[in-house]
Structure 1
């Protein structure tokens, strides 16, 4: 919590006008609502990051590859499989 004499925070630079307007409106809300929105924004950022990480194929694997996940002896793996001409290719990657 900041003391009442401190300066009001400014939104991050580079935001589009709609988002800047939304943040200005949020500044008029009660602290509980702002905290709830902050929690949601953090969870949303984590979800977006994990979704992006899940959709990025490893080097040498085309985006059109079929992807499946499995766990063997407590270790998670992602298995990629795709066709190149008459051949079926695959790659297995251990998940972190």
Structure 2
């Protein structure tokens, strides 16, 4: 991507969020991807929390206040057991979002159940 095609933040963002994004603009690609991964996980957690507060539906796995599955969660073979798990139901399909740190990198995996 050339400097002429540099992405710009949406104009609908609140000023404090736009200011936060401006501080990231000079970060290297690895740092931006780590921040993006965190923000995706945070968005999924926020949606999960909002869904839980808005409905009385129960999930197959018990979910704590942070939106992480506890108890009977089964980790895929390539996901460490220390990974955080967010369970989300979208259009009747349950997804498990796994996220963990590998050194300085944040790894993630999504599994449809």
Q: What is the TM-score of this pair, normalised by structure 2?
A: 0.47
Aligned to 1:44: 42
Residues 1:29 and 2:6 are matched in the alignment: no
* Aligned counterpart in structure 1 of residue 17 of structure 2, from 5, 16, 19: 19
Q: What is the TM-score of this pair, normalised by structure 1?
A: 0.54
Give 1 or 2 for the bigger CA radius of gyration.
1
Number of matched pairs: 62
User: Shift of the alpha carbon at 1:25?
Assistant: 1.1
Q: Deviating runs (4+, > 2 A) in structure 1?
A: 3-6
User: Shift of the alpha carbon at 1:19?
Assistant: 1.0
Q: Note the alpha carbon deviations across 1:29-68, whole angstroms, 9 max, x for none.
A: 111000000000101111111111111135xxxxxxxx9x
Unaligned runs of 5+ in 1: 59-66, 71-75, 77-94
User: Shift of the alpha carbon at 1:5?
Assistant: 5.0
Q: Following the alignment from structure 2 to structure 1, what is the Cα–Cα distance between the partners of residues 41 and 48?
A: 11
Unaligned runs of 5+ in 2: 61-88, 93-113
Q: Of the two structures, which has the highest relative contact order with CA contacts closer than 8 Å and spacing of 6 or more?
A: 2
